[in-house]
């Protein structure tokens, strides 16, 4: 078997040339991001996560700046996902009781709980969404049932169960877990809270995606304090695409005339967004099989239709990467250049840094750099979506060097030819 190329990419030929994206306004009606952040600010333990600068790495890669929104510090949950699950539960409850807005204290009151009756929340997950939903359900005093696929690590299962959820393991991949969760929820009268949509199920995924935008509202406040208006480029991880689409929607709405350039990064073994763009008929397309990748949070074979509308109309490019690219990103974050801060990042969180490094590091990536207009004036935003969520595997990568970069693709200095010695 030959070496896996570090970068396979496609420019989005379906992007709307006039900049229009009707799905953005549908997802984020005016004032949505302010409401989501106002809700999250009331949650116990809420703090704005740090925005870290990597100036020395930026200089080495030939960029003006690299900013990392570090979600490993989010509410001690090691990932951003609680933002989506908590806001969706809040909106579901608010909608059920017929009130335009609820404070957190009122949300927790016996009066509201009495109006709701018994509710069990449920979802399928690759790890972080399930943990975030379990955390939110326990905070609000509701039972929660989470479905995971058979290859989910015990550490991720234990992290979900720690917050009081029942965890059920499904034979198959993430998409099989989604289907089993839906069947059981219908049979038992549970309420599914998922970030992926399907026909007839869009409102809750929309609320989940809206909840994610709090992290960019924070980011913009932090950038403004440093004298920056916006990033020129945003690299975004994609599983089903909900997180990436929410981030794009936020910036498209904030800077409609001059948004950043959006680059989607996917695992080579679960590249459903890439496949949908490659086929180019405007519809979603699934990838089948084991979806084998160390990037557990991105191991999804079926795009969310709601997210796809935004990615199709607004994303600039999609890059797929093999596992060693994400592993390199983990090590680069953990052992930074002198003067740059340490970032603790899991496999999915580090995929974008790994991809950015390969885009900037090699002569064979010149076509990508030119297409994306990445140069010494670029201000790149990365989002570390998760910290050390699987400690044993994290040590395997960072301590033992699991998934090393093949010798042909290692970084020996400034840009050079792939495969040169």
Which residues have a catalytic role annotated?
81, 126
CB atoms within 10 A of CB 15: 18
Cα(107)–Cα(60) distance, integer angstroms: 49
Contacts of 256 (CB under 8 A, 6+ apart): 19
Distances (CA, A) of 145 to 12, 47, 118: 38, 27, 14
22 token code pair: 């009707």
202 secondary structure, DSSP code: -
Query: Residue 167 has what DSSP assignment?
Result: E
d(CA 89, CA 132): 11
Report the C-alpha gap between 83 and 257 in whole angstroms: 28
Q: Is residue 392 classed exposed, middle or buried when 0-12, 13-18 and 19+ CB atoms within 10 A define those classes?
A: exposed
Name residue, tokens 């009781």.
97
- 304 contacts 316 by C-beta, under 8 angstroms: no
The CA distance from 372 to 315, in Å, is: 11
Q: DSSP for 24-90? A: HHHHS-TTHHHHHHHHHTTSTT--PPPEEE-HHHHHHHT-SEEEEEEGGGGGGTTBSTHHHHHHHHH
DSSP state of 126: S
Which secondary structure element, helix H or strand E, spans residue 245, and what is its range?
Answer: helix 242-254
> Both tokens of residue 281?
């008929």
């Amino acid at each position: 078997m030959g070496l896996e190329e570090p970068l396979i990419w496609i420019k989005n030929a379906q992007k709307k040339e006039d900049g229009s994206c009707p799905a953005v306004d549908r997802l984020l009606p005016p004032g949505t991001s302010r409401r989501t952040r106002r809700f999250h600010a009331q949650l116990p333990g809420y703090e704005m996560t740090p925005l870290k600068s990597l100036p020395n790495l930026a200089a080495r890669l030939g960029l003006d700046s690299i900013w990392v929104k570090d979600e490993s510090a989010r509410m001690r949950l090691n990932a951003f996902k609680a933002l989506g699950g908590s806001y969706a539960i809040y909106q579901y409850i608010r909608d059920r009781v017929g009130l335009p807005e609820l404070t957190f204290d009122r949300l927790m009151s016996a009066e509201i709980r009495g109006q709701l009756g018994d509710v069990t929340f449920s979802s399928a997950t690759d790890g972080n969404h399930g943990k975030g939903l379990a955390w939110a359900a326990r905070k609000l005093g509701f039972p929660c049932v989470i479905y995971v696929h058979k290859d989910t690590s015990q550490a991720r299962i234990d992290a979900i169960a720690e917050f009081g959820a029942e965890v059920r393991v499904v034979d198959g991949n993430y998409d099989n877990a989604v289907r089993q969760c839906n069947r059981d929820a219908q049979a038992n009268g549970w309420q599914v809270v998922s970030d992926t949509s399907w026909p007839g199920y869009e409102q809750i995924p929309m609320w989940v995606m809206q909840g994610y935008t709090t992290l960019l509202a924070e980011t913009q406040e932090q950038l403004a304090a440093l004298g920056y208006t916006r990033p020129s480029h945003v690299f975004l991880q994609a599983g089903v695409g909900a997180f990436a689409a929410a981030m794009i929607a936020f910036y498209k709405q904030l800077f409609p005339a001059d948004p950043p350039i959006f680059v989607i990064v996917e695992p080579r073994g679960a590249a459903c967004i890439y496949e949908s763009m490659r086929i180019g008929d405007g519809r979603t397309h699934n990838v089948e099989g084991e979806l084998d990748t160390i990037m557990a949070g991105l191991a999804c074979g079926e795009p969310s239709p709601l997210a796809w509308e935004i990615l199709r109309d607004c994303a600039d490019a999609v890059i797929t990467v093999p596992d060693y690219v994400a592993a390199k990103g983990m090590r680069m974050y953990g052992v930074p250049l002198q003067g740059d801060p340490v970032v603790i990042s899991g496999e999915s969180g580090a995929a974008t840094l790994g991809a950015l490094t390969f885009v900037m590091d090699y002569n064979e990536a010149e076509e990508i750099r030119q297409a994306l207009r990445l140069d010494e004036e670029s201000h790149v935003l990365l989002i570390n979506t998760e910290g050390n969520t699987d400690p044993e595997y994290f040590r395997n990568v960072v301590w033992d060097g699991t998934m090393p970069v093949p010798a042909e693709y290692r970084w020996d200095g400034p840009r050079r030819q792939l495969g040169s010695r």
